[in-house]
Amino acid sequence: MTHLGRTVSILGVTGSVGQSTIQVIEELRGQGADIPVEAITAGRNLGGLAEACRRLRPKFAAVSDPALLTAAREALNGLGVEVGAGPAALEEAGARPSDWVMSAIVGAAGLAPTMAAVRRGAMVALANKECLVCAGPLFIEAANAHGATLLPVDSEHNAIFQVLTHRDRVEKLTLTASGGPFRTTSLETMAWATPAQACAHPRWSMGRKISVDSATLMNKGLELIEAAYLFGFPSEKIDVIVHPESTVHSFVHYVDGSVLAQLASPDMRIPIAYALAWPDRATVSTARLDLSQVGSLTFETPDAARFPALNLCRAALLTGSAATTALSAANEVAVDAFLESRIRFLDICRIVEEAMNSLEGSDAGLIAKTPSSFADVAAVDQAARVAAQRIAVSLAAA
């Protein structure tokens, strides 16, 4: 491997993407690559953090909950690691000197630690799409200003990144969507879907929040916004197509009629390894694509009636960046409420839509203007959470 000596940090090491990142690092270390780990973080999973410390030998490990500092010190005792807890410690993990940072915390909670890495001009492997949806233009501006390199890890964006050979000759992008567990399920049945059913994704094994987002297709809507901010294309130049085999990870259509795509088995270690080895490629034992096994590749138009999330996301993107901040925050609140069985599956999009309508009605200025600072972003995020929470409570009581 070319990049011997690339120092790395992993934000969200105990999650699905975090664990896949550990696997890739271990495999490359097994081939003789020197990949020192500077910092890792977790939410509240001390056992998972201790296990990651044993495998990665980082210098610094942080948990999100400040109340867990003493427990974290005990859990990591003897592992030769400095321990931190709370928001400042998560930011410290991003700020510490490392060449490459995996951003794999879920939700807007990942924004501040990722920004700490962006501000010091690191290579940032971006799995956390909510960072971009929440603070897109400011995030991209900061990356440009500080010379940070953004390496998309979300499989669709990684695919586009891999085949974006002529950025100014692109006619449109097409994001592929698996369709999730309810691709062919009727609205009547979806109304009674349980968290376990919503999290049983047919193709990918992922954290619970993104699994629910995949079931509502909100994930694809968030990815539409992510692609718009990341690659700088307007909403009308980005299509979504349902592709149940999850083999083609996205398409780039060029002005001469050529369409380039990246194909791979649905295995997150592939985009992770690509980002880690970039601009080289690494030899990794990821799932190989056997096209004769896949048989046929099929594509269908998403059903906007059963999956309103896509249009909600498109509308927010057209309204502006405060609207995408609000949408993502409202969705986080709604998904939490669904995972805790306080609301029903179809209420998720209802809450997001009503929260957006309520903010537009009561606080039109807030949604219409473009946030000019991260403090503005935080204010919009908070207002959307309050609105969504209020609607979730009223739906739960109904």
Query: Which DSSP symbol is given to 300?
Result: B
Q: Report, in Å, the least distance between residue 176 CB and ligand NAD.
A: 13
- The interface mask with ligand NAD, positions 245-274, x = CB under 6 A, is -----------------------x------
Question: Could you say whether residue 154 binds ligand NAD (CB under 6 A)?
Answer: yes
CB of 19 to ligand NAD, least distance (A): 8
Selected range binding ligand NAD among 15-23, 176-184, 282-290, 332-340, rule: CB under 6 A: 15-23
CB of 219 to ligand NAD, least distance (A): 7
Residue 16 interacting with ligand NAD (CB under 6 A): yes
H-type helices in 151-237, by residue range? Answer: 155-163, 187-190, 195-199, 208-216, 218-231
Q: Which helix (H) or strand (E) holds 242?
A: strand 238-242
- Calpha distance 106→226 (Å, rounded): 14
CB 140 within 8 A of CB 229: yes
Nearest-10 Cα torsion for 351, 356, 361, 366: 140
Residue 114 CA to residue 99 CA, distance in Å, equals 13
Q: Which one, 101 or 366, has the nearer CB to ligand NAD?
A: 101
Minimum distance, C-beta of residue 168 to ligand NAD, in the bound complex (Å): 27
Please report how close the Cβ of residue 109 comes to ligand NAD at its closest, in angstroms: 3
- Please choose, from the candidates 99, 102, 159, 149, the residue with its C-alpha nearest in 3D space to the C-alpha of residue 128: 102
Q: Which is nearer to ligand NAD, 85 or 312 (CB)?
A: 85
CB closer to Mg ion, 3 vs 208: 208
Site residue total, Mg ion (CB under 5 A): 3
**Taking CB under 5 A as the rule, does residue 154 contact Mg ion?**
yes
* Residue 220 is a binding residue for ligand NAD (CB under 6 A): no
381 is an interface residue for Mg ion by CB under 5 A: no
Compute CA distances 83 → 117, 120, 158, whole Å: 19, 22, 33
| Contact status: 277 vs ligand NAD (CB under 6 A) | no
Name the minimum Å distance from CB 221 to Mg ion: 11
- Neighbouring residues of 251: CB distance < 8 A, sequence distance ≥ 6: 173, 174, 176, 259, 260, 261
Whether the CB-CB separation of 132 and 115 falls below 8 Å is answered with no
Decide whether 58 or 302 has the Cβ nearer to Mg ion: 302
Q: x-or-dash pattern for ligand NAD, window 91-110, by CB under 6 A?
A: -------------xxx--x-
Q: Looking at this protein, which amino acid is placed at residue 92?
A: E
State both tokens at 242.
């349902």
Answer for which of 1, 8, 9, 17 binds ligand NAD (CB under 6 A) is 17
Residue 18 as a binder of ligand NAD (CB under 6 A): the answer is: yes
User: What tokens does 167 get?
Assistant: 């950025």
CB atoms within 10 A of CB 237: 15
**Site residues (vs ligand NAD, CB under 6 A):** 12-18, 42-43, 45, 64, 90, 104-106, 109, 127-130, 154, 204, 206-207, 209-210, 268
**Site residues (vs Mg ion, CB under 5 A):** 154-156
